A = this chain, B = another copy of it.
Amino acid sequence: MQKPDWIAFDWGTSNMRIWAMSASGTVLGEARSDKGMGSLAPDQFEAALRDVIGAWDHAGVPIIACGMVGAKQGWIEAPYAAVPCPATPEEFSTPDAGDLDVHIIAGLSQADPADVMRGEETQIAGFLARNKNWDGVICLPGTHTKWAHISADEVVSFQTFMTGDLFAAISGNTVLKHSVNSEDWDNDAFDGGVADAMARPERLAARLFSLRAEGLLNGMQNGTAKARLSGLLIGAELAGAKPYWLGQKIAVIGAGGLSALYVRALAAQSAPATQVKGDAITLAGLTAAYKRFKG
Contacts and interface: CB of A to CB of B under 8 A. Distances in A.
A1 interface: no
A28 interface: no
B116 A161 contact: no
Nearest to A233: B205
Interface in A110-134: 110-111, 113-116
A118 to B, nearest CB: 10
A152 interface: no
A144 B163 CA distance: 21
A240 B170 contact: no
Tier of interface size on chain A: 35 or more
A72 interface: yes
B166 A116 contact: no
Contacts of A162: 174-176, 205-206, 208-209, 212
A166 B233 CA distance: 13
A175 B116 contact: no
Contact of A115 (B115, B159, B172, B209): B209
Contact of A203 (B166, B200, B240): B240
A286 to B, nearest CB: 24
A236 B240 CA distance: 13
Given A114-B218, A115-B210, A160-B209, A173 B175 contact: no
A201 interface: yes
A30 interface: no
Interface in A164-200: 165-166, 168-170, 172-176, 200
Given A204-B204, A205-B236, A209-B115, A173 B163 contact: no
A202 B169 contact: no
A213 interface: yes
A55 interface: no
A283 B155 CA distance: 60
A47 interface: no
Given A80-B217, A111-B217, A160-B213, A205 B166 contact: yes
Interface of A: 72, 80, 109-111, 113-116, 143-144, 159-163, 165-166, 168-170, 172-176, 200-210, 212-214, 216-218, 233, 236-237, 239-242
Given A113-B207, A113-B213, A162-B212, 4 more contacts: A72-B216, A144-B175, A162-B206, A165-B174
24 contacts: A110-B213, A111-B217, A113-B206, A114-B213, A116-B213, A143-B175, A144-B209, A159-B206, A160-B206, A161-B209, A162-B175, A162-B176, A162-B205, A165-B174, A166-B205, A169-B170, A169-B173, A169-B174, A173-B173, A200-B240, A202-B240, A203-B240, A205-B233, A205-B237
Q: When A and B form their complex, which 5 residue pairs have the shortest distance between CB atoms, in order from nearest? A: A201-B202, A202-B239, A114-B213, A161-B205, A202-B240
